[in-house]
Each structure stands twice: as structure tokens, then as C-alpha cells.
């Protein structure tokens, strides 16, 4: 169970994971030692799962963003596990969700251009067994994106 101080630590780190223990302590009116201990506990209990830099995908050569819906032919545990293992190997897939509804999976895919995406679908995705249907939606404008949680 976390308290309001833990939530404040999470909120501050969520907005800027580069804050030092000393900076956090100053912002929260505490000394560094309890802040350090709380952060270690939050990490151990998986409230904080990792620290990452958010990279501008366009600046590093991936301007095309695609949401790709996948339907599977078979839904046994082994078929699902195999699909999920295979998806892990595709570097273009930056997120993958097992979903309910009309499709089985939602992939978030980045590509350099339409030709690269077409190659990804025709050669890489098509090589995965058990895929029945692929439907792509191309992002025209990112209105809101990111991982900021309302902590």
C-alpha cells in the first residue's frame, strides 16, 4: 500500500525521472535517506518498473506510426504463446496488446515509410503462423501520446 508521499514521489519521477534524491527530498520537504528508501521499496514492489528516455521517433527515422489489428486462426494456449513469442522478435512492433472484441491483438508499429511498412507486413508479419487477418490504421496526427498516468 502506498501513501501520499509515495504518490508524490511517483508523480515527480513520472514527470522527470532524472530528478536526484536530493531534488526530490527538497521538493517534498524531507531528507534524502527516507526518499531513497521509499524509492527502493517502490522499485522492489514494481510500482516503478524502469527508467527510460522518451525518444522522438521522427527524429530517429521512424515518421510512420501504424496501429495494426491482428486476428488469429487458432486460440489455444500454445498458439497464443507462439504468436506472442514471435511478436517479441519484431523490432518494428513497439507495443503489443492482447485485446477483446473484433480482433485478438493490437500492435503499435513504427516504420521509416510506407515501403518499409509494406515490407514489414508482407515479409515479417506474414511469416508468423496462425495470423488470419491484419488490418492497419495509419496515424495522420498524434493528438495526445505518451505514458503519463494521472497519479
Where exactly are the structural domains of the chain?
A: 4-44, 64-138
The single residue listed with the C-alpha cell 504518490 is 7
CB contact at 8 A, 6 and 12: no
Q: Is the pTM of this model over 0.85?
A: yes
CB contact at 8 A, 57 and 65: yes
| pLDDT at res. 147 | 77
CA nearest neighbour of 84 among 45, 131, 47, 118: 131
The class of domain 4-44 in CATH terms is: mainly alpha
Residues whose CB is less than 8 angstroms from the CB of residue 120 and which lie 6 or more positions away in sequence, other chains included: 90, 92, 109, 111
Whether the CA torsion 18, 24, 26, 28 is positive or negative: it is: positive
Can you name the CATH fold of 64-138?
Answer: Alpha-Beta Plaits (3.30.70)
Cβ atoms within 10 A of the Cβ of 120, count?
Answer: 22
What does each of the 151 residues of the chain score in pLDDT, given as a tens digit?
A: 999 999 999 999 999 999 999 999 999 999 999 999 999 999 999 999 999 988 999 999 999 999 999 999 999 999 999 999 999 999 999 999 999 999 999 999 999 999 999 999 999 999 999 999 999 999 999 999 887 888 8
Compute the residue count for the chain.
Answer: 151
| pLDDT at res. 99 | 98
Amino acid at each position: 500500500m502506498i501513501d501520499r508521499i509515495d504518490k508524490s514521489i511517483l508523480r515527480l519521477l513520472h514527470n522527470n525521472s532524472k530528478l536526484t534524491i536530493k531534488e526530490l527530498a527538497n521538493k517534498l520537504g524531507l531528507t534524502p535517506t527516507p526518499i531513497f528508501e521509499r524509492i527502493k521499496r517502490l522499485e522492489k514492489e514494481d510500482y516503478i518498473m524502469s527508467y527510460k528516455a522518451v525518444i522522438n521517433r521522427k527524429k530517429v527515422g521512424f515518421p510512420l506510426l501504424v496501429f495494426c489489428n491482428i486476428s488469429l486462426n487458432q486460440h489455444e494456449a500454445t498458439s497464443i504463446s507462439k504468436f506472442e513469442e514471435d511478436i517479441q522478435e519484431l523490432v518494428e512492433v513497439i507495443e503489443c496488446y492482447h485485446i477483446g472484441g473484433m480482433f485478438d491483438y493490437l500492435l503499435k508499429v513504427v516504420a521509416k515509410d510506407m515501403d518499409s511498412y509494406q515490407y514489414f507486413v508482407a515479409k515479417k508479419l506474414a511469416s508468423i503462423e496462425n495470423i488470419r487477418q491484419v488490418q492497419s490504421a495509419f496515424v495522420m496526427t498524434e493528438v495526445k501520446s505518451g505514458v503519463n498516468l494521472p497519479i
